[in-house]
Amino acid sequence: MDAARIYAEAQERLLALAAGPAGEAAETPVPALPAWNVRQTYAHLAGICVDVVAGTVTPPATDEITARQVAEREGQDIEQICQEWRSNTPALLELLDSGTRMRHRLPVVDVWTHENDLRGALGIPAQTRDADQLLDFALSGAARMWPEHLPSVTATATDLDRSWTLGGGTGLQWRGTAYELHRALMGRRTPGQVAAMDWTGDPAPVLGALALLPAAERPLDV
């Protein structure tokens, strides 16, 4: 994964949003993140950047850590939060360039995923650039952890003409765009939405394993 570039470009898009529609709708709830509004989502992004650079947090962050990050920036507006985030990013980009373990790439997954969470909250179309790299990272990780007792799943990104297999043998076939597959893996689709995707075979036994983060409780479109 081209981690540093993807992170930097996602941040630039988010900073541009903060100077416009996100800043104007700072208290708007984020449906993909029911506990947070737009401003609090930016507070988390700034906080994880600060914590990783300082070495106080090694991704993935727990719910307690993310709640602390948001609480520490309560009372700050989006402009202040973005200034802090921007000032700490060069050091994070160096870490993204030098880290060799999979967990060193998790801030990239975080910022890319939350960018689309925010776009959904603001009624802005999804940003799909680099979905191929994010999907490869997610499915490669899922393949290493796939429970042996579950049917195998071959996931095919229809816009890439590329497939990944979770588990061994012949099993289920799951098809969708790289973006939709990644959103499902990141828990941004309900189990019902995932089941309604293009499947060959009954996906019911594997739906819980496919969501690498808790699945959405209400349907999301972005």
Give the chain's end-to-end CA distance (angstroms, integer): 23
Give the distance between the most distant pair of CA atoms in the chain: 54
What pLDDT score was predicted for residue 100? 61
What pLDDT score was predicted for residue 59? 77
Q: Which of 167, 123, 135 is nearest to 149 (CA)?
A: 167
Q: Are 117 and 10 in contact (CB under 8 A)?
A: no
Pairwise CA distance, residues 205 & 150, whole Å: 7
Tens-digit pLDDT profile for residues 76-106: 999 999 999 999 999 999 989 886 666 678 9
Q: Which CATH architecture has domain 131-210?
A: 2-Layer Sandwich (3.30)
What pLDDT score was predicted for residue 111? 97
**DSSP 3-state assignment of 196?**
coil
What pLDDT score was predicted for residue 34? 93
**What are the extents of the domains in the chain?**
3-122, 131-210
What pLDDT score was predicted for residue 51? 92
**DSSP 3-state assignment of 60?**
coil
Pairwise CA distance, residues 49 & 84, whole Å: 9
Q: Helix, strand, coil % (nearest 5) of the chain? A: 55, 10, 35
Q: Are 99 and 105 in contact (CB under 8 A)?
A: yes
What pLDDT score was predicted for residue 23? 86
Segments of the chain scoring below 70 in pLDDT: 99-103
pTM: 0.94
What pLDDT score was predicted for residue 8? 97
Tens-digit pLDDT profile for residues 178-191: 999 999 999 999 99
Residue 9 burial (CB < 10 Å; 0-12/13-18/19+)?
A: middle
What pLDDT score was predicted for residue 61? 84
Q: Are 134 and 2 in contact (CB under 8 A)?
A: no
